[in-house]
A and B are shown apart, each in its own frame.
Chain A
Amino acid sequence: MSEKKELVAELARHPFMRGFAPEAVERMAECVEGIREWDEDALIFRAGGEADMCYLVRGGEVAIEIHSPGVGSRIVQTVSHGQVLGWSWLFEPHQWAFDARVLTPASAFVLRGEAVRKCMDEHHDLGYLMMSRFAGLIAARLQATRLQLLDLYASRD
């Protein structure tokens, strides 16, 4: 199997791509810069940096952190196998809002954000599917954030 076909086949197995037609996966594979691996404690991106890549995590665990002066860094969420890391590449101003730090050695498909956006513009069916996926993802994380804000386990007395 050629390297490209192998990449398409592997990308198709990622949970985020479930339900994508083979040609849609092929188009997405065109946007893949490569598969990257990181060691523990590596910083994948930093808040304020240019959000030019989309990461589909293949393994390991990555912490999404925020730093507050005087408080320090807090982990607000962890992302692991099969999940998407970051959507800032999709929306203006394409700037990361959080840090992403590797907790356990991780690997991910790295897609060029600009290429994905162009592909979505040119192929509206794929663009709609991608937007639906990311809307679902954002809605789920919004709901999770609301639950976190409720501080459900705090003492009420």
Chain B
Amino acid sequence: MQAVTELPTINPMAPVPHEVVGKRRETYDTMTLELAAPEPFESRPGQFNMLYPFGIGECAISISGDPSRTDRIVHTIRDVGAVTHALHALDIGDHVGVRGPFGTPWPMEAAEGKDLVIVAGGIGLAPVRPAIYEALNHRDRYEQFVLLYGARSPEDLVYLDEIKEWRSRFDAHVDVSVDSAPSGYRGSVGVVTRLIPSADFDPEHAVAFVIGPEIMMRFSVTELRALGMPRDQIYISMERNMQCAVGFCGHCQFGNTFVCRDGAVFCYDDIHSYLPIKEV
């Protein structure tokens, strides 16, 4: 008689309850939640989890913490709908269901020995923060480190303390710009794409990670390309309606790929032809 095959113990569709152990307000509509990992949580920069506030629904949220810390899982969440609103309402000691990690990571190894240029817009700084930690924790692996971050207004800037710390480093070029600001604001004002031409990096010997609203990414890529950066050295993180996170449901189909399974990080060279097609 044939032995019964043991079922795998990890079901990617089953959420595992995690306790909220930290909560920090970033802006008027954005919060960072810290969850205790019941067992060491291994993830790579750029991956995401599915978070499930019980009884409300699930949504894909990028991991925004330091990947070298496996005892905590950090997510930065903008309050934009029912599920994210419920996540914002969680208190320390509450539990939330977690599935993950899912998705492709930022290709840190592709940038080793080269300049690393990160262009982030809005809440897009959160999904790329693990890559920033990774790069700064292993600073000697990269040549120039450039972070260009844009937001809607000074009130929308997240991780202000860390940005200040990163800017104070002599081995990092960090520029921040907001789309508009009240008189008296002392920072740079204008769209983030205009920071690209004046940043200090060698476009032919650099790798770029670009994340933010799709239009912002398109214009950022245009600037990078105008400087001479090859398409296969640019990586972008796509956003689509991700529901199952394992490529079953098809909600996040993007051309011949599924963003949840084949992305969210893609090499621009692989998907550039889909971007101008509005039906995709």
Whether the pair A147, B191 counts as a contact (CB closer than 8 A) is yes
Whether the pair A72, B183 counts as a contact (CB closer than 8 A) is yes
Residues of A56-79 whose CB lies within 8 A of B: 61, 63, 65, 67, 72-78
Stretch at the interface among B39-47, B162-170, B213-221, B251-259: B213-221
Residue numbers in A under 8 Å from B189 (CB-CB):
63, 75-78
Q: Tell me whether A153 and B191 are in contact in the complex, defined as CB-CB below 8 angstroms, given that A75-B182, A76-B180 are known contacts.
A: no
- Tell me the number of A-to-B contacts counted with CB atoms below 8 Å: 78
Q: How large is the interface on B (under 10, 10 to 19, 20 to 34, 35 or more residues)?
A: 20 to 34
Residue numbers in B under 8 Å from A76 (CB-CB):
180, 189
Q: How large is the interface on A (under 10, 10 to 19, 20 to 34, 35 or more residues)?
A: 20 to 34
CA–CA, A104 to B215, complex, Å? 31
Interface status of B156 (Cβ within 8 A of chain A): yes
Interface status of A127 (Cβ within 8 A of chain B): no
Interface status of B198 (Cβ within 8 A of chain A): yes
Whether the pair A152, B216 counts as a contact (CB closer than 8 A) is yes
Interface status of A151 (Cβ within 8 A of chain B): yes
Whether the pair A157, B81 counts as a contact (CB closer than 8 A) is yes
Partner of B191, one of A65, A82, A148: A148
**A81 and chain B: residue at smallest CB distance:** B198
Residue numbers in B under 8 Å from A140 (CB-CB):
194
Residue numbers in A under 8 Å from B123 (CB-CB):
153
**A77 and chain B: residue at smallest CB distance:** B190
CA–CA, A112 to B1, complex, Å? 97
Residue numbers in B under 8 Å from A104 (CB-CB):
186
Residue numbers in B under 8 Å from A157 (CB-CB):
80-81
CA–CA, A15 to B177, complex, Å? 21
Q: Which of B80, B123, B150, B179 has the most CB of A within 10 A?
A: B179
Interface status of B122 (Cβ within 8 A of chain A): yes
Whether the pair A63, B215 counts as a contact (CB closer than 8 A) is no
1/0 per residue, CB under 8 A from A, across B119-156: the answer is: 00111000000000000000000000000001110001
Residues of B within 8 A of A (CB): 29, 78, 80-81, 121-123, 150-152, 156, 177, 179-183, 185-191, 193-194, 198, 212-213, 215-216, 219
Can you spell out 18 A-B residue pairs with CB atoms less than 8 angstroms apart?
A72-B183, A74-B180, A77-B190, A78-B188, A78-B190, A104-B186, A144-B191, A147-B191, A148-B179, A148-B191, A152-B213, A152-B215, A153-B151, A153-B156, A153-B179, A153-B212, A154-B152, A155-B29
